[in-house]
Amino acid sequence: MRLIDRRFDRSRFDALRRTDQFIDDLHSGRAAPEQVEALLREVTGDAELTIHYRAQGDAADPLEGIPVTRGDALVATITGTSIQRERPALVAEVIGAAGLAIEIAALRVELRCQLAEVEASRA
């Protein structure tokens, strides 16, 4: 499939190749999970793309956008993807491939928030 994409759907091939490279860099420590938003902006061509991380236990209504789930849990919502209308399958594939990085970034954001709460309670 990738060989066909390389020849006939270069944008899909490049987006998935770049996402796979980012995941490899993440595993080897050359990239940080928080860089996933910049990666998604790059591969979708949407400079307005934003990842809204959802804290565990957050009962707020989900934002309109693309949900990112891991298992049954909603970990984030992605908004601003104008390319979603043009190439929804590509966006879904890229987000699926980057799902682990998004989940790790969400956990790190949640940890920073909890640490800030602890520091505030001590003050």
Higher pLDDT, 91 or 24: 24
Distance CA 109, CA 51 (A): 12
For the chain, give the percent of residues with pLDDT over 90. 34
Specify the 3-state DSSP secondary structure of 43: helix
Q: What is the largest CA-CA distance in the chain?
A: 60
pLDDT category of residue 91 using cuts at 50, 70 and 90: confident
Q: Tens digit of pLDDT for each residue in 15-62?
A: 999 999 999 999 999 999 999 999 999 998 888 899 998 866 565 566
Specify the 3-state DSSP secondary structure of 13: helix
